[in-house]
A and B are shown apart, each in its own frame.
Chain A
């Protein structure tokens, strides 16, 4: 009815040509997917969480499949910010899509150091502060489950970078809303949720965890989608900044559910492992849905759940 749908959305000053991007930790440093996906079609690219120093990550065995999900304890294995800048970043000079770098650390200082170093990098468009990794001993989710620490960390990063700042939230809290609100208060340009839920799987023959010495891991994949949708719906009502929906998305239909619940964009995680070209199909599917339903802009979908009782 009204021409070509416009899939673009904005997170702060960052313009995404489509509301779809990979989730950190499922897309390597981007280049690994170049043979499967046209990276320039993506709304943005998010790389694996980078820390100040390189991390070898968790001991074996790091993952196990569970019903419609993946339980994994990777322990933020990454090359460290120095090698990232020297060896991984130059690849993005040839790519148009905005680049979001996920950052992690064991202390506010470490997060700040990484953010400072990346602030000098022109090619980096945004930072996603990972305060929600379930598998690191210090920092990680402990940051994301404490309101005051979240406030300190987000304001600190906000003060020292001009980049777009997104905060990735953990679902492992009693109420997600105050966390989203604090991020907004501290000047974040958006929040992304959810990171993994914590889970376990046990081998009943050996009575050992299927993740060996790691014992617990982060549960991701389609199994967590209903919970993710619920938290996105809650966060979407609590804040005005964009909410990026993450959790078990495998299709355009899944993504559209997140838009209706309140997400301005979505991240695709585990599904990249199964269908490494899946991101483009999801973008195509969203466009087809918009065409079929006469939707001209993604914003016409965001937070449009009907049938909610009025309070």
Chain B
């Protein structure tokens, strides 16, 4: 499907905000779901690139999809040069999306870098379904120049910035900040965590979730060939005893070993959102 570009602008450093008119689409996306965009007109780059939904703006008879992305290579560079009025070839929405429960009273969003893109949608979703949920946002980057979107995030919750060098906010990484905030009593005793960022950060958050006893969901990123469950590239190992399946997370693409001791899940189909404790982090980060 070809969708018209309504906007495609730099928001900071090498981060861009793309807005597509997807009013024609039958099924609009949910937070955590993604679209696969063709990022070129030739065969190099070849594959589509997955981009998670950042915001969904619904008007009278119109649906606009915002995608927040970072320019990291040839494909995203091409994308950043597309102009308003041009069309983009996008397929989706794909994936399961975050499981957003009205009963959550405290939501802690943990992002690093572009990881804020899908989490912002989570914050907005809580605002949409209930004003009762308190949203806390731990957002950071290597240095303050790479930290962006603070102003926008203030609209959806209380912000705790961090940088590796301490040039803005807490000096250190997200897992350290999270522990620090919990120890200082700056976060409520009970909360649900929603995280997106590098695999190692997610892994540390998973360890912390075990020791502090909170639940959480993570958005995983994997190399995808197709986005719809056929190339089997984006397989992620899960812990067999912890696999979480429910009405929202049906996980149709699980592949179990015959003895049940191993199971792989396709990020594009079963994910990209997983329960923080179901991912086999040792295998995933190996």
A residues near B (Cβ < 8 Å) are 25-28, 32-33, 48, 53-65, 67-70, 72, 74, 77-80, 212-213, 221-222, 250, 270, 272-274, 276
**Assembled-state Cα–Cα distance A62/B255 (Å):** 15
B78 within 8 A of A: no
Nearest-CB distance from A33 to chain B (Å)?
A: 8
* A57 interface neighbour in B44, B264, B284, Cβ under 8 Å: B264
**Assembled-state Cα–Cα distance A62/B234 (Å):** 7
B225 touching A276 by the CB < 8 A rule? no
| B199 nearest in chain A by CB position | A60
Interface segment out of the listed B45-53, B152-160, B208-216: B45-53
| A22 nearest in chain B by CB position | B230
A77: chain B residues at CB < 8 Å are: 232, 235, 255, 264
Mind listing 25 A-B residue pairs with CB under 8 Å?
Answer: A28-B230, A32-B228, A48-B230, A48-B232, A54-B255, A55-B255, A56-B255, A59-B237, A60-B236, A61-B223, A62-B233, A63-B224, A63-B234, A64-B223, A65-B46, A67-B44, A68-B44, A70-B46, A72-B233, A74-B233, A77-B255, A212-B286, A222-B46, A273-B230, A276-B91
**Assembled-state Cα–Cα distance A213/B284 (Å):** 11
Nearest-CB distance from A26 to chain B (Å)?
A: 7
| A221 nearest in chain B by CB position | B46
Count the A-B residue pairs with Cβ separation under 8 angstroms: how many? 104
A56 touching B48 by the CB < 8 A rule? no
B230 touching A54 by the CB < 8 A rule? no
B257 within 8 A of A: yes
A57 touching B222 by the CB < 8 A rule? no
Total count of chain B residues near the partner, CB < 8 A? 34
**Assembled-state Cα–Cα distance A199/B231 (Å):** 18
A26: chain B residues at CB < 8 Å are: 230-231
B231 touching A72 by the CB < 8 A rule? yes
A63 touching B228 by the CB < 8 A rule? no
**Assembled-state Cα–Cα distance A28/B258 (Å):** 20
A60: chain B residues at CB < 8 Å are: 222, 235-237, 283-284, 286
B235: chain A residues at CB < 8 Å are: 57-58, 60, 62, 74, 77
**Assembled-state Cα–Cα distance A221/B130 (Å):** 48
Instruction: Indicate whether A274 sits within 8 Å of B47 (C-beta atoms), given known contacts A74-B232, A74-B233.
Output: yes
A276 touching B226 by the CB < 8 A rule? yes
Nearest-CB distance from A220 to chain B (Å)?
A: 9
B262 within 8 A of A: yes
B43: chain A residues at CB < 8 Å are: 68, 221-222, 250
B38 within 8 A of A: yes
A56 touching B263 by the CB < 8 A rule? yes
**Assembled-state Cα–Cα distance A77/B258 (Å):** 12
Nearest-CB distance from B107 to chain A (Å)?
A: 29
